[in-house]
Chains A and B, each alone.
Chain A
Amino acid sequence: MIRITRKVEFSAAHFYHNPSLSVEENWRVFGKSNNPHGHGHNYVLEVTVAGEPDADTGMVLDLKELKEILQREVVDRMDHRHLNYEVPELAGQIPTCENIAAVIWDLLEPKIRQGRLDRVRLYESPDLFAECTADGAAPGGRGKEADRE
């Protein structure tokens, strides 16, 4: 089994606020991320698809096709948008890295028709990321091949 990974970037604004909490509780839980004017990040998204290379093409999935899926499903939806207001899939959720990654997973999974979606890692900054992995996949997105190193 081979894993292929494609990376894309998008920039978006968000803030954290739970309307069922008081002003003071929101500030206590979320700190400066609670600023109602919002703030932004350059998100970096790594998407991994796992599968066997096709005998004719030598590819698990044409990276060009994966690039188009990522553009259509993620970048067109989220780039230069305000995640609290402009992404319907996040409506009613606090747009944390965890929730955005899970939404991206749900958007991409049905679109991958060759191989299967194995991992979605979304970096909010170089030092913070959320990662979704397929049930049964190894944490960190690496499996037995890492054990052989």
Chain B
Amino acid sequence: MKISLGRRYHFAASHRLHNPKWSTEVNRELYGKCNSPHGHGHNYVLEVAFTGPVATETGMIANLKELDPFVEREVIEAFDHKYLNEEVPEFRSVVPTTENLAREVFRRLRDFPGAKLQRVRIEETSKNSFEFLGEDAGSYRHGRRSQISGEKQVPHPHPQEPRLGSG
């Protein structure tokens, strides 16, 4: 049996999905409403899970008195009530889909001392969630609870590019 500790955090941020390598039309076709020029926002829910030995002295994998300030400092302060495209340096060159957001959050949290980051899962809305288990795990896992009615599947204009997803 393996054991992990899960913790959820909340932040609100705005973003715009747009890749400057592509034309206005391609961006609009691929990203739809998410390409709206002034950006839009979400109440994101961040779920993190850590593994490691349960310390006999504390009964804990990670002490929330240490974990909460770490996540607050590394992620929440950087993302909450920000425009991700412009106010988080990593997203000046990477499209801030929630896939990429999950990967960036993982990078920021992986050095938490005392416990091993197992996974990062971000709910962009109550219907979309994105999960990243680290580069070693190979791939994203992407869960969508229901298909939005009438949503079109847009073929990827540049198949060789990493999939950028929706949001």
Contact = CB atoms under 8 A, between A and B. Distances in A.
A39 to B, nearest CB: 14
- Specify which of A98, A102, A129, A149 lies most central, judged by the most chain B CB atoms within 10 Å of its CB: A98
B54 interface: yes
A20 interface: yes
A90 to B, nearest CB: 10
A15 B8 CA distance: 22
Nearest to B118: A139
Contacts of B25: none
A61 interface: no
A101 interface: yes
**Interface size class, chain B:** 20 to 34
Interface stretch (B14-22, B102-110, B139-147): B139-147
Nearest to B133: A139
A127 B60 CA distance: 16
Contacts of A130: 3-6, 61
Interface stretch (A1-9, A50-58, A73-81, A140-148): A140-148
A97 B4 CA distance: 10
A105 B4 CA distance: 13
Interface string A93-130: 11111110110010001000000000001000011111
A127 B8 CA distance: 5
Q: Does more than half of chain B's interface fall in helix, strand or loop, or is it mixed? A: strand
B59 A96 contact: yes
Contacts, number: 91
Nearest to B58: A29
B61 A98 contact: yes
Contacts of B2: 132-135, 137
B64 interface: yes
Nearest to A18: B57
Contacts of A30: 58, 65
Given A127-B8, A149-B142, A140 B131 contact: yes
Nearest to B121: A140
Contact of A128 (B3, B54, B64, B141): B64
B7 interface: yes
B1 A133 contact: yes
Given A18-B58, A149-B142, A101 B121 contact: no
B49 A97 contact: no
A91 B157 CA distance: 61
Contacts of B3: 98, 101-102, 130-133
Nearest to A146: B141
6 contacts: A98-B3, A133-B3, A139-B49, A142-B141, A147-B141, A149-B142
Interface of B: 1-9, 49, 51, 54, 57-61, 63-65, 118-119, 121, 131, 133, 139, 141-144
- Per CB-CB distance, the 5 closest pairs between chain A and chain B, nearest first, are A94-B59, A96-B59, A127-B8, A129-B6, A99-B59
